[in-house]
Amino acid sequence: MHGGVKFYRGAAAAARAYVEADHSRADDYYLAEGSGVAARYVVNVDEHDEPAVIAAGNMDGETYKRWVAGYDVDTGVAKGRLRKDEKGLRFVEVVVNGPKSWSLAAAEHPQIAQVYEAAQDRAVREVINWVAQHSTTRVGPRGRQVQVPVDQIEAAVIRHYTSRAGDPHRHLHLQINARVFTNGRWRGLHSVGTVDSIEAINGIGHAAVACDPELRRTLAAYGYTLQADGEIREIKPYIGRFSQRSAQVTRNLDRYEAEWRRQHPGQTPGPALRRGWDRRAWADNRPDKDIPVDGVALVERWRAELHELGYDPPDHPVSLKALPIARLDRAAVVDLVLSRLGGRRSAWNAADIRGEVEKIIAAVGIIAEGTVRRELAEDLTSRTVAACTPLLDRGDVPEHVRALTSQRVVHVEEALVSRLANRARSQPRPVRLDAPRHARGLDAAQRRAAAAIAGTAPLVVIEGAAGAGKTTTLAAAEAALRRIGHRLLVVTPTLKAARVASREIKTQASTAHWLAIQHGFRWDEDGRFGRVPNTERFNDPGRKLGPRGAARLEPGDVLLVDEAGMLDQDLALALITIADEHHARVVLVGDRHQLPAVGRGGVLDHAARRAHPTNVLELSAVHRFTDKTYGALSLRMRTGQRPGEVFDDLVARGAIVVHPTAIERTAALAELAATKTALVMADTREQVSLLNAAAREQRSTTTPKQRLGRTASKDASVVTGRGELITYGDRVTTRLNRRDLGVANRDTWTVSRVTADGSLQLNGRAGTVRIPAEYVRDHVELAYATTVYGAQGETVDSGHVAIDHTTGAAAAYVAMTRGRDRNIAHLVADDLADARQQWIDVFSRDRADLGPAHAAERAATDINTHGPQPRRPLARLLSQGEQPQWRHPQQTYPLRTNTAPSRTESLSSPGIGL
């Protein structure tokens, strides 16, 4: 189970259509015998007893509409004072689902389908129970509100059997009503707490099904086994190709709707029209097949398509192997949870811990009844919370606020800050540049920056806006350093950026990770970061470790980190340590207004605060854009000040495009991407996948004349593990560094040949490479569009970006500064005023992780914003004489000062099952 929390705001009557848009009309085959739209659940939370999830019957369409609107479905009475406007929150929603292979197994075997459905029912009850125990509402006068636990919540569960494309995808929509009952009256749910609990919700939902004894016994009886990621081993190889066929149906539906809306502006397609599109989409996708007319025919079609791909179900049962709970090394699990969380972020809450614990329980092979698994998960969560370091010394921290960290996370930041501060103590001496040779074409700020790089300061920080000419400055500094006998070693967060730097600066460049490895640093995917002992690094020639060749630094050399704002703290500490050991100088180049590190960042902030003031320089003149007035406008986007006025100026320039629906925006951007004449960007990989598929669809639509020139080799294709179809001429990207293959993460290529064994020949800036089938399956993706992270560092003629509710200030600024000539933002909005407010909201989002010290400040701010959760009555904070009955939520995890128990077994031992 994965995904986020969705907020439904708007008319209650439209909620049913909102839910139904998530599945195919083929679902009607299953629901024809059903008695309602949604199952309703009520949970009464008691201080002393375990909450009971009560099934309150099914709701038909009208009943569901009243429930969404905030009325008691039995009496028709409003649940307190209700908001009537379209912005009012009606419910928050999460989706309880499982790996795709589970739904395919259910389609293949009716018995598995029945057991899987029962396991999902138990899982959703468990999630509802947990949400009820940890939900809060806010009481008290404005400015002095506090959070209190709820006494009752209501939930609706809507079951779907298919995806929107009509392929098997069994999932449940769990909706928590925004009206909750506490202290004798109805109030509004504190939805921020639900959002901050998503890791626990996802983890519980997945583990409750994956560890379900009945489901696991049934899978084993049919010969199926689960991998660590939860997928069924025997079915997983067929998922990509199966999904590719069904994804074609989705693209057909989107194309029909986009075309219809262009011809009928301002209108909404009705149910009858959509049913017709469904039939047409299925027919266009497989014209040689009959369209299913009932549920039995639909399942038979799924089975036939799976078998056409070469799938042959197992013909004998397998033994069910489970890890006994007694063999689980709980101290090792605590250590693993802290390592994983610390590898991704600076601070977390108990819900984040619970989610990680549930993932581990499922991955190591625990199979147990729900009550047993919950007790184990709660114990491991309590142990991990006890091993955490609190960021705030106060007893009223709400559960959802991320105010926990680890000793190691704190230690890394302290060590990094200490080393940076030590470098700021000496007096710097910039050098005088040889103007005719080294400073030609530089403005005054660039000359000062180049002189500082080539000077004697142990620590230099250079910030520059997008298009400020950092590369030109570095090239001049490299020439000056070479003249005085020193070397400039450039490292970057990515291999792609290193190649660009090497080519444009004409000096050696590598990834920061490569340099750290050469000096003995190691890390793993679970967040552990350390260093090989000296004896192993330097006394074992067979390991080929140690600083030699390009990795060797001499006293006075300059270690320059480009895009330093994207550097995480572990890697930054490794680089500073290397420079300290070899008496090299350090220069950090970047921009704190652009995209931050994926993980614990803030390196550039710490360096800028501690470097000598004369060695913190800024390149403020923008040279990239053909229109100088746009350069000035980009600087206003960079600071985020007065975003409404910036939006108005962009509208006047024609740089804002408003689309009525997301489908119409996808169609417009896909048309641009298919031409390969513009850089098309989006915020998430899911959005990019949709754009890539739609763009490829448009590119593959050829004229009869073009088809005459095609050959069998040009019509050959391969389907990746993500279900993407790749053929001759497609633009693709490689997503894993492989020096032996000559490819880097996020390199873009054009497919020049597809071979029968699934390998590809690619042409790109680095030349022509041959990529084996295994790499293609796991690490090649379509690249007509890219994420904003993938676009940082790119400079093109024209850039287009989809702005959404997930877009933050840094992403919007980076995306709107890639094009020399044009930069266009595309928004989905009701009108220009709505789009303007969305733009303003974008520039109020800045959730960059800048380290544990900053996380502590943010946690305190969150408490001031959302209210504390005191542990005793505070009647003076309540309004209208309320005297709430305070209680502690169930399953809270108290903080203790003791550290984690020492590990007795290695993580590779049977004790943890990894």
Q: What is the pLDDT of residues 275-306, one digit of tens each?
A: 677 767 766 655 455 555 566 777 888 888 89
Residue 158 is encoded by which pair of tokens?
């809507």
What residues does 754 pair with on adjacent strands?
760
User: Is the pLDDT score of 890 beyond 50?
Assistant: no
Distance CA 834, CA 831 (A): 5
Q: How far apart are CA 758 and CA 740, in angstroms?
A: 19
Average pLDDT over the chain reads 85
Average pLDDT value for residue range 148-168? 87
Tell me which residue has tokens 């984040």: 352
In this predicted structure, what is the pLDDT of residue 42? 95
Check pLDDT > 80 for residue 248: no
For tokens 């709430």, what's the residue?
884
Residue 28 has pLDDT above 70, yes or no: no
Report CA-CA distances (Å) from 337 to 343, 348, 355, 413, 909: 10, 11, 10, 20, 16
> How far apart, in whole angstroms, are the C-alpha atoms of residue 841 and residue 804?
10
Apex 779 CA angle, 773 and 785, nearest 5: 120
Question: Kind of pairing, strands 558-561 and 585-590?
Answer: parallel
Q: Where are the alpha helices (DSSP H) in 322-466?
A: 330-344, 350-363, 370-387, 407-423, 435-438, 444-453
Residue with tokens 């500490």: 573
CA separation for the pair 59, 384 (Å, rounded): 41
Per-residue pLDDT band at 914 (split at 50, 70, 90) = very low
How much is the pLDDT for 660?
92
The H or E element spanning position 299 is helix 295-308
| Residue 292, pLDDT score | 58
CATH-assigned architecture of domain 628-702+715-844: 3-Layer(aba) Sandwich (3.40)
Nearest Cα to Cα of residue 202 among 483, 366, 5: 5
Lowest-pLDDT range of 112-116, 246-250, 766-770: 246-250
Q: 95 vs 20, which has greater pLDDT?
A: 95
Q: What is the pLDDT of residue 199?
A: 95
How confident is the model over 233-261, as a mean pLDDT?
A: 81
The pLDDT confidence band at residue 884, using thresholds 50, 70 and 90, is very low
Is 215 within 8 Å of 119 (Cβ atoms)? yes
Tell me what pLDDT residue 2 has.
56
The pLDDT tens digits for 598-616 are 889 999 999 999 999 999 9
Pairwise pLDDT comparison (429 vs 632), residue with the higher score: 632
| pLDDT the model gives residue 242 | 83
Among 25-34, 346-355, 903-912, which is the least confidently predicted range?
903-912
What average pLDDT does this structure show over 622-641? Answer: 92
For domain 408-536+545-619, which architecture applies?
3-Layer(aba) Sandwich (3.40)
796, pLDDT greater than 70: yes
Please tell me the predicted confidence (pLDDT) of residue 428. 64
Beta bridge partners of 531: 521
CA torsion sign, 636 to 637 to 641 to 644?
positive
Please give the pLDDT value at position 680: 97
Q: Please determine, for residue 659, whether its predicted confidence score (pLDDT) is greater than 80.
A: yes
Q: How far apart are the C-alpha atoms of 377 and 550, rounded to whole Å?
A: 48
Predicted local distance difference test score (pLDDT) of residue 691? 93
Domain ranges in the chain are 5-309, 325-388, 408-536+545-619, 628-702+715-844
Question: Crossing angle for the helix pair 370-387 and 198-210, nearest 10 degrees?
Answer: 140
| pLDDT given for residue 11 in this prediction | 83
The Cα diameter of the chain in Å comes to 86
Q: What does the pLDDT read at residue 608?
A: 94
* Residue 853: per-residue pLDDT: 95
Tell me which of 177-191, 254-268, 606-620, 671-685 is least confident: 254-268
Reported as a pLDDT band with limits 50, 70 and 90, residue 875 is: very low
Task: Give 3-state DSSP helix, strand, coil % of the chain, rounded to 5.
Answer: 45, 20, 40
Tell me phi and psi for residue 801, to 5 degrees.
-135, 140
Give the residue among 54, 35, 296, 10 at the shortest CA–CA distance from 154: 54
Alpha helices in 345-369 (DSSP H): 350-363
For residue 390, the SS3 value is strand
pLDDT at 30 over 60: no
DSSP three-state, residue 173: strand
Q: Rounded to whole angstroms, what are the CA distances from 682 to 785, 786, 803?
A: 8, 6, 7
- Name which residue leads in pLDDT, 56 or 240: 56
Angle 275-281-284 from CA coordinates, rounded to 5°? 140
pLDDT above 80: residue 702 = no
Q: Say which range, 140-144, 592-596, 759-763, has the weakest mean pLDDT.
A: 140-144
pLDDT per position as a tens digit, 188-204: 999 999 999 999 999 99
Q: Do domains 408-536+545-619 and 628-702+715-844 have the same CATH topology?
A: yes
pLDDT reading at 416 higher than 50:
yes
Residue 610: what pLDDT?
Answer: 93
What pLDDT is recorded for position 649?
Answer: 97
Check residue 712 and give its pLDDT.
47
Q: Strand 529-531 to strand 459-464: parallel, antiparallel, or no bridges (unpaired)?
A: unpaired
pTM for the whole structure: 0.86
Whole-number pLDDT of residue 144: 87
Radius of gyration of the chain (CA): 29
**Residues in contact with 728: Cβ distance below 8 Å, sequence separation at least 6, in sequence order:** 713, 714, 715, 716, 751, 752, 753, 754
Query: What number is the average pLDDT over the span 212-219?
Result: 97
pLDDT at 269: 82
Q: Where does the pLDDT of residue 14 fall: very low under 50, low under 70, confident under 90, or very high at 90 and above?
A: confident
The span from the CA of 362 to the CA of 643, in Å, is 46
Check: CB of residue 903 under 8 Å from CB of residue 329.
yes
Mean pLDDT of the 846-868 span: 92
Q: Does residue 34 surpass a pLDDT of 60?
A: no
Q: What percent of the chain has pLDDT above 70? A: 85
| pLDDT, position 708 | 44
Taking 80 as the threshold, does the pLDDT of residue 535 lie above it? no
pLDDT of 336 reads 97
d(CA 403, CA 855): 7
Token pair 């108005």 is at which residue?
648
pLDDT reading at 118 higher than 50:
yes
pLDDT in tens, 423-478: 987 766 666 665 445 566 788 899 999 999 999 999 999 999 888 888 889 989 99
What mean pLDDT comes out for the span 219-245?
A: 89
Is a pLDDT exceeding 60 seen at residue 527?
Answer: yes
Residue 321's Cβ-count burial label (10 Å; 0-12, 13-18, 19+) is exposed
Which runs of consecutive H residues, i.e. helices, occur in 90-238? 100-108, 110-134, 191-195, 198-210, 213-221
pLDDT bin (cut points 50, 70, 90) of residue 33 is very low
Question: Is-contact 178 191, C-beta < 8 A?
Answer: yes
Pairing of strands 656-659, 819-828: parallel
| pLDDT of 86 | 76
pLDDT at 48: 60
pLDDT at position 500: 84
Q: What is the mean pLDDT of residues 858-885?
A: 65
More confident residue, 709 or 640: 640
Q: Which tops the pLDDT comparison, 441 or 908?
A: 441
Pairing of strands 136-139, 146-149: antiparallel
Start-to-end CA distance of the chain, whole Å, equals 21
Strand order in the sheet with 679-682: 656-659, 819-828, 796-802, 679-682, 785-787
- Residue spans of beta strands (DSSP E) within 5-129: 6-9, 38-44, 52-59, 89-96
Rounded Cα distance between 626 and 642, Å, is: 24
